[in-house]
Amino acid sequence: MSEVKEKDNMWFIVGACIVGMLVVVFFLKSEKSAHLESGAVQQLQTETFSNLEKRKTSNNATEAQKSGK
């Protein structure tokens, strides 16, 4: 009697998982800087710094200036 040996596919599965993880890592790495190209970060920074400047100048104002007198 000859026994049919079952083929071991474990290393193919492990290799496919490793390749899949590498594909995901490279995809995420390419998407990492996509938000910088849109200019949204620069716009948000400008807006934030202008709001901070307004807050700083309003803190230095006198009470009469704040009330509009």
Asked whether the beta carbons of 33 and 25 are under 8 A apart, the reply is no
Calpha distance 56→17 (Å, rounded): 54
pLDDT exceeds 70 at position 53: yes
Residue pair 35/41 in contact (Cβ under 8 Å)? The answer is yes
What are the tens digits of pLDDT across the range 5-45?
Answer: 778 899 999 999 999 999 999 998 877 766 666 677 788 88
Q: Which residues of 15-38 are buried (b: 16+ CB within 10 A; e: fewer)?
A: eeeeeeeeeeeeeeeeeeeeeeee
